[in-house]
Structure 1
Amino acid sequence: MSGRCLAVPLLVLAGMLPHAAAHAAAADTLDLAKQVNAQIVHRHMREDFDAFARTFSGSTMMPDTLPAGCQAQMRVAVSGMYAAMVRHMQAGIDDPVFQRDLDTRLAAAYSRDELQDFLGRSATTSLESLSADVLSAPGLKEAQEAQQQKIIDSMDEHSTANPDLAAAMQAVGAADTACEQLQMDAAE
């Protein structure tokens, strides 16, 4: 094969190398961003959520003045609502579309070295502090807050975003109405 015949494929290959290297670097940065999200940001959100979810108990959030005839029905309804709220919030935090968006935003906001630094600091820095540092880049905290607001906004008995949660909230409303009727009947 002549030198000229080899030169053309080598030139083509040489022209593709910078593009391939840039693509590999971007993929590497995205992989690091996914690790930062999973090990720091998402983990912190999950830990906060888990602490919040532990406070949900059907018995702790019921008024002491609830008549005895209402307590069982109300306890079942409220417990069901709390369970549905916890599932709804967990699904919102774990939402794959949100997680992929956050991965992409992290990869765009930080260099490969910065992402590696975050991962390296995870052994010596509190998760809360490290997550705040990660989310300090423009648009990241706002994206997280927008997701949290989306979760809260869809916690409504008339929402179509989560029919199970809406039904559980309606059950609490029905139990409350039945309890009020019981109280009015007892007062007569």
Structure 2
Amino acid sequence: MSTPALLVLAGLLPAMAQAAPADTLALARQVNAQIVHRHVQEEIQAITEAMNGGAGQSLVKDSPAGCQAQMGEAVTTLYAAMAEQVRSGIEEPAYLAAMDKQLAAVYSAEQLKAFLAQSADADTDAGGLYREVMSGPGLQEIDDAQKQKVFAAMDESAPATPALAAAFQSAQAAKDACQRLQIDAS
């Protein structure tokens, strides 16, 4: 090989070495978006539907007739604010970047490609694939820490957003109104 060809090759080697981690990170982002993030969004949707359909409706039905409308509105508003808080938590850029980085550190590009291929297969159990991806070292810890952060932000005594604070106040006002109706009816 000639000297100019060796110099060109030597100049390309650092770029080639840097391309591999960048490719792995890009694949990790895809895995995070298509498998991990999508699974979490589906879980949130299921929880939201359950709250709006089951638990939330029983709170309304158990209320005195005179305050069911107010209680229903308060419960719906509270659940919507809580769902939005969870959604914003899983969309947090620092969390997404941490998951991307850990996925890229834990799995090779080939493994990430295999996960993506499995996710494209309609016969793949999405929940099983999610659990398989999340079984990598450090991934569940990142996810658990984010969940803890999200749920801590929904503490009624110190809500993270004005919308959540207003929803808690509305729910408390509806509860107080219902209690007054029950006392007056006694």
Structure 2 length as normaliser, TM-score?
0.87
State the alpha-carbon separation in 1 of the partners of residues 96 and 58 from structure 2: 32
1:158 partner SS: coil
8 Å CA contact retained: 1:157, 1:167 = no
For residues 10-67 of structure 1, give each alpha carbon's deviation from its aligned partner in whole angstroms, at most 9, with x where no partner exists.
74x5544322111111111111111111111111111111112112327523154421
The separation in 1 between residues aligned to 2:69 and 2:33, in whole angstroms, is 41
Which consecutive unaligned segments of at least 5 residues does structure 2 have? none
Correspondence 1:62 to 2:59:
yes
Where does the alignment leave 5 or more consecutive residues of structure 1 unmatched? 1-6
Instruction: Identify which of 107, 113, 131 aligns with 2:104.
Output: 107
Match of 2:128 in 1: 129
Check if 1:51 corresponds to 2:46.
yes
Contact 1:156-1:166 within 8 A present in 2 as well: no
Q: Which runs of 4+ in 1 moved over 3 A?
A: 13-16
Counterpart position of 1:116: 113
Match of 1:82 in 2: 79
Paired AA for residue 20 in structure 2: A
The question of 1:23 aligning with 2:40 is answered no
Name which one, 1 or 2, has greater alpha-carbon Rg: 1
Structure 1's 82 and 61: CA in aligned 2 closer, same or farther, altered over 3 A? farther
Maintained 8 Å contact 2:51/2:79: yes
- 8 Å contact kept, 1:135–1:141: yes
- Aligned residue for 1:183, secondary structure, equals helix
